[in-house]
Structure 1
Amino acid sequence: MSNDIGFTHIALSAKDIDKSIHFYTTYANMSVMHERVDEDIDKRVVWLSDKTRPFVLVLVQNSDPTPVLGPFAHLGVGCRDKDEVDQLCHQARKEGILAKEATDSGYPVGYWAFIRDPDGHTLEISYGQEIGLTVEQHQA
């Protein structure tokens, strides 16, 4: 077993964890990696991951979550291409949760949009942000 080092997770409160799981499965391609009831606080806890890196989104049940990621603070998820961003925006628009239409901000920001999760937290979906390449260039 190895020790986790570095940025491993972010934790958010969620009123209806099942709705949040559905949201992050749909809009961030994540799935449940771990689930339990935390006996100390008597709350349901889930860990979600997109399995692309050792990082999880932790959702903790809370009857009255305060959105801490919004209006600008957000989680960011990279998409395959602009078409995927557009498709997710279309779906979010139909569901009434699209917070900011897709915008092409050029290099290095790319093509991006904001979507609200069931508790009001903001998820950015994007294409063309060269975060991985930028980090690789600075690992020398």
Structure 2
Amino acid sequence: MAKDIGFTHIALSASNLDSSIAFYQRYANMSVMHERIDEEAGKRVVWLSDKTRPFVLVLVQNSQPVPILGPFAHLGVGCESRRAVDDLCDRARHEGILSKEATDSGDPVGYWAFINDPDGHILEISYGQEIGLAVEASEA
């Protein structure tokens, strides 16, 4: 059985969990892994994951969340191609939530853009950052 050690999650507040779940499904390919009502706080809690690693985004219902991820602090999601980044940017632009157009910053930053989630937290979508490769190379 795997142990939960290392960086396992980040928790954010959300005013409408269903809207936030739908956002992270569309833009980060995440789905609900766990859902409950926190008995002590009386708030709905969900854990979302893209199932690529043992890490979850925890969203906690809050009627007035303060967006702590912005204007620069952000969650980062790697995409499979530049075209995937462009497609997500097109969708976000159409929805009025694209906050930074796709930019090619070269190595090691890659091709990236910023999108606002329903509560103003920032999601970075990118291609070419190769963070996983950098981590693997450091272990060699």
> How many residues get paired?
140
Q: What is the one-letter code of the residue matched to 2:126?
A: S
1:58-105 C-alpha deviation (Å, 9 max, x unpaired): 000000000000000000000010000000000000000000000000
The one-letter code sitting in structure 1 at the alignment partner of 2:121 is H
Percent identity for Structure 1 against Structure 2: 76
* 2:126 partner SS: strand
Matched AA of 1:119: D
4+ residue runs of structure 1 moved beyond 3 angstroms?
none
The equivalent of 2:64 in structure 1 is 64
Q: How many angstroms apart in 2 are the aligned matches of 1:35 and 1:3?
A: 21
Q: Report the counterpart of residue 41 of structure 2 in structure 1.
A: 41
> Superposition RMSD on alpha carbons, in Å?
0.6
Letter in 2 for 1:120: G
Q: Which amino acid aligns with 1:10?
A: I
Looking at structure 1, the residues matched to 119 and 69 of structure 2 have their Cα atoms a distance apart, in angstroms, of: 10
Q: Distance in 2 between matches of 1:3 and 1:85?
A: 33
Secondary structure in structure 1 of the residue aligned to 2:139: coil
Match of 2:103 in 1: 103
Q: How does 1:1-140 map to 2 (within 5 A)?
A: 1-140=1-140
Listed as ranges, the gaps of 5+ residues in structure 1 are none
Q: 2 CA distance for matches of 1:139 and 1:40? A: 42
One-letter amino acid of the counterpart of residue 107, structure 2: Y
Task: Please identify, of 130-139 and 84-93, the stretch whose mean Cα deviation from structure 2 is larger.
Answer: 130-139
Q: TM-score under structure 2 normalisation?
A: 0.99
Give the whole-Å Cα distance in 2 for the aligned partners of 1:3 and 1:101. 39
State the secondary structure of the residue aligned to 1:125: strand
- TM-score when scaled to structure 1? 0.99
